[in-house]
Amino acid sequence: MEVAVVSPLVAPPPASWRDEAASLLRLSGPLVGSNLLQMAIAAVDVIFVARLGSRDLAAATLGAFMFNLAVFALIGLTGAAAPLIAAELGRRAHAVREVRRSFRMALWVGLFCSAPVMILLSQGEALLRLAGQDAEVSRLAGGFLWVILIGMPLAVGAGVMRTAAAALGRPGWTFLVTGLALALDILGNWAFIYGHLGAPAMGLDGSALANVLSFAVMTLAYAIILLCDPRLRKYRLLGYWWRLDWPRARDVLRLGLPIAATWTFEAGLFGGAAVLMGLIGIEEVAAHAIALNIAAFAFQLPFGIAQAATIRVGMAFGAADPQWIRRAGNVALVLGIGIMAATALIMWSIPDALIRIYLDPGRTDNEAVATLARRFLAVASIFQLADGAQAVAAGVLRGLQDTRFPMIIALFGYWAIGFGSSVWLGFFTPLAGVGVWWGLAAGLAMVAVLLAARWRARERLGLLPEAILARS
């Protein structure tokens, strides 16, 4: 029998907007850093594989896209643990037992759902051939997937433990563990791709194996942290790991499936934009990749704030404190939009300096790509505000355990408005590639406006805890 223990680890609600901002920054800072390091891991893989040749790079790009999209969706699914754990902390009563149940069932749901995804992606070569990809590239990508799929359950498990550590007020571990994974990924790529340190020269498959090694070490590191950290071990998160709790599993699926779908819709929009660029021209594809990579690095800032906002609003939701809910959500929105305003100014002011990280704009053979990338970044500098707003607005709504309708907003905004506008502006106006980017901006702006409106109407829509609505 599980013992009901009241948690002594929850701080009282912040007394002011400044206190809430300080709490949000303490929580979001390590999460932002961890997200940036995760981006660096992907960049390291590209740098090492690129030296093998264009076919290996193409195969790694396709294989990694399929794997990362699947893992991203699975981590979104298990990310339901964040608002559930935060709400239990806000309620305070029996938080140890309830937090453990949410963690355990998020872990089980993630591992169960990994199985069919792994079976599907194990047929990666056939799927890529059906999509019309080059036969040799498809074969290489299929082999890459066979190796890296070993790490999928490890990646999902590490993601759940990362979420729990952050929700329980120990986000600094996420930064340190991801930094360790980056170091191991660099070493593993160097050793397994080229045959150093006595390892066989595995080529492309060596990069996949390096990722599996990083996932394994991350999972082990998080498990040790959960067992040894004085604050986290009080929750005994790995205790009773074999017990199934169907009501809590349904809660995870109820909240998590819409989160996974929402994240897939957004990632799919940018993947679809890359396909459109391929229909326009080779230079457009290269410029799109550069501009999108820069924008993706900037996006990690509001994404980390959104992750922290889910926890802060979730705690206020559990405490049934309407003032804390309002303060936590609004502080997160202001901070997220403000930071993206700063990144927008940087993109607008020094695009050439950013592009120079990827290529030399002064070279004649790079001139066309650099010019297009500069134009794309000009559009990106404008939609940064919308991107930050939609990310944080989705995060604060997740804190209210509101995920289903935001998923519908995402589907409509990203695909009906965003992708539809990209097709029209890219192919039926002279804007071409720039039009595709304006379509992305339109989709992000629509989602941002609708999610922000839903946040503002939270009481009227009945999104607040029943205890608050009963008092209204």
Question: Residue 29 is encoded by which pair of tokens?
Answer: 């800072």
- Tell me the whole-structure pTM to 2 decimals: 0.90
For range 147-168, the mean pLDDT: 95
Residue 386: partners with Cβ closer than 8 Å, 6 or more residues away: 441, 444, 445, 447, 448
State CA 275 to chain mean position distance: 21
180 CB-near residues (< 8 Å, 6+ apart): 217, 218, 221
Is the per-residue pLDDT at 5 higher than 70?
Answer: no
Q: Identify the pLDDT of residue 2.
A: 42
Q: pLDDT of 357-414, one tens digit each?
A: 877 766 766 788 888 999 999 999 888 889 999 999 999 999 999 999 999 999 999 9
Position 289 scores a pLDDT of: 82
When the pLDDT of each residue in the chain is averaged and rounded to a whole number, the result is: 90
Q: Report in angstroms the alpha-carbon separations of 20 from 90, 243, 284, 425.
A: 15, 37, 43, 42
pLDDT, tens digit, for every residue of 438-457?
999 999 999 999 999 999 99
Alpha carbon distance, N-terminus to C-terminus of the chain = 39
Specify the pLDDT at position 49: 86
Token pair for 427: 């192919």
Give Cα separations from 122 to 66, 116, 408, 445 (angstroms). 11, 10, 30, 37
What is the mean predicted confidence (pLDDT) over 191-211?
93
Any idea which residue has 């906002």 for tokens?
309
**pLDDT tens string 49-95:** 878 887 888 888 888 888 999 999 999 999 999 999 999 999 875 57
What average pLDDT score do residues 317-324 get? 93
Q: Which amino acid is at 159?
A: G
The pLDDT value recorded for residue 9 is: 43
Can you tell me the distance from the alpha carbon of 143 to that of 124, in angstroms, rounded to the nearest whole number? 8
Q: Residue range 311-339: average pLDDT? A: 95
Q: Does residue 97 or residue 328 have the better pLDDT?
A: 328
**Contact by Cβ (8 Å): 397, 406:** yes
Residue 253 has pLDDT above 90, yes or no: yes
Do 17 and 327 touch, CB atoms closer than 8 A? yes
pLDDT of residue 313: 96
Which H, E and C letters describe the chain, residue by residue?
CCCCCCCCCCCCCCCCHHHHHHHHHHHHHHHHHHHHHHHHHHHHHHHHHHCCCHHHHHHHHHHHHHHHHHHHHHHHHHCCHHHHHHHHHHHCCCHHHHHHHHHHHHHHHHHHHHHHHHHHHCCHHHHHHHCCCCHHHHHHHHHHHHHHHHHHHHHHHHHHHHHHHHHCCCCHHHHHHHHHHHHHHHHHHHHHHHCCCCCCCCCHHHHHHHHHHHHHHHHHHHHHHHHHCCCCHHHCCCCCCCCCCHHHHHHHHHHHHHHHHHHHHHHHHHHHHHHHHHHHCHHHHHHHHHHHHHHHHHHHHHHHHHHHHHHHHHHHHHHCCHHHHHHHHHHHHHHHHHHHHHHHHHHHHCHHHHHCCCCCCCCHHHHHHHHHHHHHHHHHHHHHHHHHHHHHHHHHHHHCCCCHHHHHHHHHHHHHHHHHHHHHHHHCCCCCHHHHHHHHHHHHHHHHHHHHHHHHCCCCCCCCCHHHHHHC
CA angle in degrees (0–180, nearest 5) for 419-421-423: 70
Closest CA to 392 of 343, 328, 346: 328
For the cut 80, the answer to whether the pLDDT of residue 272 exceeds it is yes
Nearest-angstrom CA–CA distance, 152 and 256:
18
Average pLDDT (90-102) is 83
Per-residue pLDDT for 280 more than 60? Answer: yes
At residue 11 the predicted structure's pLDDT band, cuts being 50, 70 and 90, is low
Radius of gyration of the chain (CA): 22
Q: What percent of the chain has pLDDT over 90?
A: 68
* 102 in Cβ contact with 238 (< 8 Å): no
Lowest mean pLDDT among 119-123, 214-218, 288-292, 351-355: 288-292
Q: What is the predicted pLDDT for the residue at 130?
A: 87
